Copies of this chain bind each other. A is one copy, B any other.
Amino acid sequence: MFNQPPAIQFELPGWIGAYTQGISPMQAVNDRMSFVIEASRRNVSEQTGGPFAAAIFERDSGKLVSLGVNLVMTERLSILHAEMVAFSLAQRKLNTYDLGADCLLVHELVTSTEPCAMCFGAICWSGVRRLVIGARDEDARAIGFDEGPKMAERWIELQQRGIDVVHDIQREKAAAVLSEYLLAGGGIYNSRQRKLE
């Protein structure tokens, strides 16, 4: 007989509450990225998921709206990349599927590593108007993560949708977390790539 869950729930790791408690608005983009990179490192050390974190900020005030981390292996859901988690948390909080709605302040996504092919598409639907990136695509690929099929013109595509992109913010610090994860024996979970090897 056919059956499927009537609902899907996923939980954020418990440490995020303490990590974000009393956090102040961060004026500098560098500070926002440091906060996100430290969350990616924490997600590894707490063993709550892959070495990736992403946050939604109010672009102009630097106020934190949501912090997501990679939960693919812990929640056993392939869509739960850090960016997807951050979008969902922010959208629930603001009660809208569009973080770019006219009645809202402008939002940005700050992500520890360049978004994969899925998250790249998701950015277009999220409503964020700026994307701030730490480690590069090739840094993730270097430790064995498949970033998926990406178009060369992807930054132009975002720009044409009114989404600014800022690259290489603390790239080395962000990439260091990826290397640490690999050295610690963290799971590289992109099954399609593995099958082809």
Q: Which residues of A contact B (CB under 8 A)?
A: 1-2, 4-12, 16-17, 20-23, 64-67, 72-73, 75-79, 84-85, 87-93, 95-98, 100-101, 116-122, 124-127, 146, 148-151, 153-154, 157-158, 160-163, 189-193, 195-196
Contact = CB atoms under 8 A, between A and B. Distances in A.
Contact of A149 (B2, B87, B148, B157): B157
Q: Which 9 A-B pairs have the closest CB atoms?
A: A118-B121, A117-B121, A149-B157, A9-B9, A78-B125, A161-B192, A98-B191, A7-B11, A78-B97
A35 to B, nearest CB: 11
A116 B148 CA distance: 15
Contacts of A73: 97
Query: SS class of chain A's interface: helix, strand, loop or mixed?
Result: mixed
A124 B78 CA distance: 10
Contacts of A88: 8, 77, 79
A80 B191 CA distance: 22
A190 B123 CA distance: 11
A103 B145 CA distance: 22
Given A125-B190, A151-B151, A11 B6 contact: yes
Contact of A163 (B117, B120, B146, B192): B192
A192 B162 contact: yes
A121 B124 contact: no
B101 A191 contact: yes
B189 A97 contact: yes
Contact of A117 (B89, B90, B120, B196): B120
B124 A192 contact: yes
A98 B122 CA distance: 20
B149 A154 contact: yes
